[in-house]
A and B are shown apart, each in its own frame.
Chain A
Amino acid sequence: MGSMLQYPFIQNALLSGSCIAVVGALTGYFLLSRGLTFAGHALPNIGFAGAAGAVLVGVKPVYGMFVFTVLASFGIRALGKNVRDRDVSIGVLMSFALGLGLLFLDLYSGYAQRVYAILFGTILGISRSDVLVTGISTLAVVAFILLLYRPLLFATFDPAVAEARGVPVGLIATALLVVVAVTVSLSIQVMGAILVFTLLVGPAATAIRLTRRPSTSLLLAAALGVAYVWGGITLAVASGDLPVSFFVASIAFAVYLPVRLLTAGRAETRRGAPPAHAH
C-alpha cells in the first residue's frame, strides 16, 4: 500500500476515485429513493455512445459523455410518464445509444482496446487535469445537493404534497437526472460504462438498509463508496491488470448481501415512506 502510493497514476486514480465515490453515493441515494434504478443502469451505457463518439472526433471521452447523458436525461424525463412506460423508453434509448456507440467504435480503427477501456474502465492514464475536472465537478454536485437539500428530500419522498406546497417537483426531477448524468460521465474513466451503476447503487442500497435518517444515510453511503473504491483500486493494482470495476462490484455485493439478509424484516416500508422522525 505504501509503495503503491508513490506512483502518480495511482495517486490520481485514488483522488479521482474518491471524488466519484462521493458523488456516486450521494446521487445514487436519491436515484434509489425515487425508484430510478433502471435509469442509473441506462445512463452510463448511453454515455458509452458519447465517449465513443468523442474518441472518433478526437475529443476527450468525458465531454462526449456529458453531452449524451445530459440529453438522455432530458429524453427520459420527457418520454416516461409512468413507471411502465419509463422502463420501456429507458430500455429503447439505452439499446439505441449502445448501437450508436458500436457504430462510432467500428468507424474508429483498432477499436477493441478502446471498447474495453471505455466499457470496463482503466485507471491508467488519469492525468492531473482529469483529477482537477473531477474535483471541481464533485464540488458542484455536492453544492447542488446541500443547497437544494430540503426541497430535494421533500420532492423525493412526498412529491404530491411537495407540489401542492409550491416545490417545483418537475424541475427538481430534471435537475437531479442532469446531476446523475454529470456523475456518470466523471465515473467512466475509473469504473467503465458497464459498472458505473455499481457506484450509484451499491453504497446507497446498503446505507438505506442501515439507517433511515436521510442525512445519516447520505454520509454513510459516501463513506462506503470511498471505502469500496479504495479497496477496488488497491486490489486491482495488486492483481496486475484486472479491472477496478470488478473488485468494486464484488466488495459492494459482499457488503450488501449480509446487510440485506439481516435487515430483511424492514424492507417494505423503506421506499416512499418519509422518515417521520428525521430532524
Chain B
Amino acid sequence: MHLLGSEIFQNAFLAGTIVALVAAPVGYFLVLRAHAFAGEALKDIGFAGATGAVLLGISSIVGMVAVSLVAAIGLGFLSRRMRGRDVEVGMVLSFALGLGVLFLSIWSHSSAAHASAGVNILFGSMLSIGRSDLLVALGGAVLVAATLAVIYRPLLFASIDPAVAEARGVPTRLLSMAFMLLLGITTASSVLVVGVLLVAALLVAPAAAAANFTRSPRGAILVAALISVGATWIGLALAFVPLGRHLPVGFTISALSAIAYLVSAALGRGGLRVGLPLHPSREVGQTEALPD
C-alpha cells in the first residue's frame, strides 16, 4: 500500500479525522439545541462566502470561515428567539443560496476545470485537500475543542434547560453566540470533507444517532465521534481500493451516517427521540449512561 505514504492520502486522512472529531461534539449540541435548520442556514450563507472567495481568487475555506463567522454573530443575536423564526431564517438562507449560485455559475462558466472545482465545493473532495487547507482545519479544530472544553458545562445546562440556566445566572445569550461561532468554524471545515451540500451528514446524523443510543451527553459525544470518524475512514478507504473507486467519499459518509441514524431510531427505546439527561439541573455533566 504505497498509497498510504502519498501526500494526497495523508492530507485526506488527517483532515477527515480532525473534522469528524470536531463535528461530533458540535453536532451533539446542535441536535440538543434543536438548531438543525439554523445549521443549515449557516452553511448556506458560508456557501456564498466560499464561492465569492473562489471568484476573487482566495481559498474557499478562508472565505467560508470569514462569512460564516459574520453570519454566526447575526444568528446568535436571533437565536434565543430562534424557534418560530423559520421563515426569517429561510428567507436569508434563500438569498444566500442565490448569491452562491450566482458566484459559482459565473466562475464555473469560465472553464471546465473551474466547473469541476465548483462541484468539489458542493460535494467535497477529500483527495484535493492541500497542506494549507489542512492547517486551517487543524487550527479551527484546536480552537473549537479548546473553547468547548471551557464552556462545556454551562453550554450543556443552557442547551437542556435555558430557562432554569438563565435564572441561575448562566449567561445563555453569550453562550448562544459562542456556540454559533463554533458551529460556523466547524461547518466551514466540514465542507473540506463532505462539501456544502452534505454537511448534515457529519454534523447532524452521527449526533442524532448517538443521542438515540445513550442519554449520557459524554457517552453520546463519544458515540457520535465513533460514527463520524468511522464513516469518514471507511469512505476514504473505499475511494482508494479498485472496487470502490466509483464511490464518492461524500456518498459513503452520508449513507453510513444515515444508516447509523435509522438503526438508532429503530433500536432506541421509545422510537425517535433525542435523548436528554433526566434531571439536567442536578446531573449536568455527571449523568450515567442509562442502559438503553
Contacts and interface: CB of A to CB of B under 8 A. Distances in A.
A40 B258 CA distance: 20
B86 interface: yes
A205 B8 CA distance: 46
A201 B94 contact: yes
Contacts, number: 192
Contacts of B31: 88
Contacts of B89: 37
Given A119-B122, A195-B98, A99 B272 contact: no
A243 B87 contact: no
B108 interface: yes
A242 B105 contact: yes
Interface string A86-101: 0111111111101110
Main DSSP-derived SS at the A contact region: helix
Interface string B253-277: 1110110011001000001111000
B106 A103 contact: no
A112 B108 contact: yes
Interface string A67-92: 00000000000011101110111111
Interface residues of A, number: 61
B34 interface: yes
B108 A243 contact: no
A245 interface: yes
A271 interface: yes
Given A83-B34, A89-B272, A95-B205, A106 B246 contact: yes
Interface in A221-279: 241-243, 245-250, 252-253, 256-257, 260, 271
B97 interface: yes
B204 A249 contact: no
B200 A95 contact: yes
A260 B88 contact: yes
A113 interface: yes
Given A37-B87, A202-B91, A195 B101 contact: yes
Given A201-B91, A252-B91, A253-B91, A96 B105 contact: no
A149 interface: no
B97 A98 contact: no
A235 to B, nearest CB: 11
Interface string B83-123: 01011111111110111111011101100100110110011
B204 A91 contact: yes
A260 B205 CA distance: 33
A102 interface: yes
B91 A256 contact: yes
Interface string A17-53: 0000000000000001001011011000100000000
Contacts of B99: 246, 249
A80 B201 CA distance: 18
B116 A98 contact: no
A37 B82 CA distance: 13
A66 interface: no
B19 interface: no
B39 to A, nearest CB: 8
Given A92-B258, A112-B119, A245 B250 contact: no
B208 A194 contact: no
Nearest to A113: B115
Interface string B38-68: 0110000000000000000000000000000
A248 B98 CA distance: 8
Contact of A194 (B84, B95, B101, B201): B101
B37 A87 contact: yes
Contacts of A81: 271-272
Contacts of A120: 101, 104-105
A85 B262 CA distance: 12
A81 B119 CA distance: 35
A130 B197 CA distance: 28
Contacts of B123: 98, 102
B247 interface: yes
Given A37-B87, A103-B251, A112-B116, A243 B105 contact: yes
B131 to A, nearest CB: 26
A99 B249 CA distance: 9
Interface in B181-206: 197-201, 204-205
A37 B93 CA distance: 11
B73 interface: no
B138 interface: no
A173 to B, nearest CB: 17
Nearest to A240: B109
B36 interface: yes
Contact of A242 (B86, B102, B204, B262): B102
21 contacts: A37-B90, A40-B90, A81-B271, A88-B31, A89-B208, A91-B205, A92-B200, A95-B201, A96-B205, A99-B198, A99-B251, A99-B255, A99-B258, A102-B123, A103-B247, A107-B246, A112-B118, A116-B118, A119-B122, A198-B98, A242-B106
Shortest beta-carbon contacts, A-B, top 7:
A249-B98, A99-B254, A96-B258, A37-B86, A253-B95, A95-B200, A95-B201
